[in-house]
Amino acid sequence: MKPAPFEYKRPQTVEEAVALLGDDGARARVLAGGQSLVAEMNYRRARPARIVDINAIAALEVIEADGESLRVGALVRHVQLERGATDGPLGRLLTRVSRHVAHPPIRNRGTMVGSLAYAHPAAEWGAVAVALGAELRLASVGGTRVVAAEDFFRGPFVTDCGPAEFVIEVRLPALGADMGVGFVELRRTHSSFAMVAAVAVLGIADGRVTDARIALANASSRPLRVETAEAVLVGACATSASFAAAAAAAAAQADPVSEPHASADYRRHAAEVLVLRALAAAAADVGAACA
Ligand SMILES: Cc1cc2nc3c(=O)[nH]c(=O)nc-3n(C[C@H](O)[C@H](O)[C@H](O)COP(=O)(O)OP(=O)(O)OC[C@H]3O[C@@H](n4cnc5c(N)ncnc54)[C@H](O)[C@@H]3O)c2cc1C
C-alpha cells in the first residue's frame, strides 16, 4: 500500500522544526531514519498530515563524549554506534548491542533516538537507556526539557514526548574503566526483534559487586530496569550463586505477555536465563571469574 497524502517539510534548524510541529492541528510526525515510520505509513497505521524531516538539521548529527557522558544526537545512526562511538565499557556495550538491532541496511539509516522515540517494547536501545540511567533532551517552541529514560517510556509505542516537541539528543552516562558490560538476546531469526533481551553492567572489586545495573527488553510493556535483581547483587560476592539469585529476582519482576511465538511463562524463563548469561558476560568483561 502507499501512504495517505501528507505535507512534507524539511527544516534546516531545530527552531524551524519545532515551529512546524507546534502548528495547531498539524498532526505532524518527525521523520528520522524512516525505518519504522515509513512502514507504518505504508500500512496506513500512521496517517500524519505533515512529515517534518529532520535529516537536514546538521546540529542533530552530534556524537560527542565529554568524560561524563556520550551525547548522541537525533541523527546518529545505529551503524555509528556499532563502529565504536566512544572508548571503554560504554563503547563496548554500544558496539555489542547495535549488532542486534535489525540488519545492516536498517542500521545504516535508523537512529538510536528514533528507536527510543518509537518505543517498541522489544527495542534494545530502550533497555540500554534505562540500565544506564540515560537522559533525553526534548525541544519545543517553549525551549528544551530533560527527561530521564526511566520516565520517558510510558508503554508500548507511548512516551513522554508530546506531539509539539521532539527528542534532540540522548545522553548516556560514561562508565568507569573498571566496569564490565554484558548483553544477550533471544530472537527467532537474525533480524527479528528480540523475544527477550538482557543488559548487565557490573562493577566488581575484591570479588564483591560494587555496582549493578540490569535491564530487560520485551519482558514488560516498556523497558524494564530490574532493581530487585540489582539489590540482590550489590555487596554480594560475584559468584554463580549470587548471579542465579539475581536472575531469579529479575524473572520475578518481569511481566511479559504471551505472543504467537512464545508464552508468557516461556519468556519469563528466558528472561532468567538471559540475565544469568548477561551477568556472566559482564563479569568476564571486567576480568572477574564467576566461581
Ligand atoms: C525489518 C526491520 C527489523 C528491525 N529490527 C529491529 C530490532 O531488532 N531492534 C530494534 O530496536 N529496532 C528494529 N527495527 C527498527 C529500527 O531500529 C528503526 O531504526 C527504529 O525503530 C526507528 O528509528 P528511525 O530513525 O528509523 O525512526 P523513524 O522510522 O524515522 O521514526 C519512528 C517513530 O519515531 C518518531 N521519531 C523519530 N525520531 C524522533 C525524534 N527525534 N523525536 C521524536 N520522535 C521521533 C517518528 O515520528 C516515528 O513515529 C527494525 C526495523 C525493520 C524495518
Q: Which of 188 and 139 is assigned the larger pLDDT?
A: 139
For ligand 1, mutation pick of 37, 61, 136 (most atoms within 8 Å of CB): 37
Co-location of 98 and 154 in the same domain: yes
For residues 164 and 229, membership in a common domain is answered with no
Domain boundary among 173, 201, 224: 173
Task: Tell me which of 27, 43, 71, 106 to substitute to probe ligand 1's pocket, judged by most ligand atoms within 8 Å of the beta carbon.
Answer: 106
**pLDDT value at position 24?**
72
Q: Is residue 187 part of a domain?
A: yes
Cα(155) to centroid of ligand 1, in Å? 16
Residue 12 predicted with pLDDT over 80? yes
Same domain, 80 and 141: yes
Tally of structural domains, the chain: 3
The domain boundary residue, chosen from 173, 208, 235: 173
Closest residue by CA, ligand 1 atom 53: 35
Does residue 57 lie in a domain region? no
Digit-coded pLDDT (tens) for 178-207: 999 999 999 988 878 999 999 999 999 999
128 CA → ligand 1 middle, Å: 15
Residue 196 lies in a domain: yes
pLDDT of residue 285: 94
Give the pLDDT confidence score for residue 287 in this predicted structure.
Answer: 85
Residue that is last in its domain, among 154, 173, 192: 173
Together in a domain, 106 and 156: yes
Give residue 34 CA to ligand 1 midpoint distance, Å. Answer: 7
**Cα–Cα distance, 193 to 219 (Å, whole number):** 13
pLDDT band at 22 (very low <50, low <70, confident <90, very high): confident
pLDDT in tens, 109-137: 999 999 999 999 999 999 999 999 999 99
186 and 263 both lie in a single domain: yes
Q: Is residue 212 part of a domain?
A: yes
Q: Is 161 in the pocket of ligand 1 (CB under 6 A)?
A: yes
Provide the CATH number for the domain around residue 240.
3.30.390.50
Same domain? For 106 and 43 the reply is no
In a domain, 29, yes or no: yes
pLDDT exceeds 70 at position 291: no
Q: Are 204 and 210 in contact (CB under 8 A)?
A: yes
Pocket test for ligand 1, best of 30, 97, 130, 140 (most atoms within 8 A of CB): 30
Q: What distance in angstroms lies between residue 12's CA and the mean position of ligand 1's atoms?
A: 21
C-alpha of residue 36 to centroid of ligand 1, in Å: 4
Q: Which protein residue has the closest C-alpha to ligand 1 atom 31?
A: 37
Question: What mean pLDDT is predicted for residues 267-273?
Answer: 97
125 CA: nearest ligand 1 atom: 11
Does the Cβ of 123 fall within 6 Å of ligand 1?
A: yes
pLDDT at 146 over 90: yes
Answer yes or no: is the C-beta of 124 below 6 A from any ligand 1 atom: yes
88 and 44 within one domain? no
Whether 290 is covered by a domain: the verdict is: no
**2 lies in some domain:** no
pLDDT at position 188, please? 87
State the pLDDT at residue 290: 63
pLDDT tens digits for 38-95? 999 999 999 999 999 999 999 999 999 998 999 999 999 999 999 987 889 999 999 9
The residue whose C-alpha atom lies closest to atom 38 belonging to ligand 1 is: 114
The pLDDT, as a whole number, for residue 67 is: 86
Q: Is residue 259 part of a domain?
A: yes
pLDDT: which is higher, 287 or 29 = 29
Distance 280 CA to ligand 1 centre (A): 30
What's the sign of the alpha-carbon dihedral 109, 115, 121, 123?
A: positive
Q: How far is the CA of 82 from the centre of ligand 1 (A)?
A: 16
The pLDDT of 232-254, averaged and rounded, is: 97
| Mean pLDDT over the full length of the chain | 95
**Same-domain pairing of 131 and 169:** yes
CATH at residue 99:
3.30.465.10
The boundaries of the domain holding residue 203 are 179-285
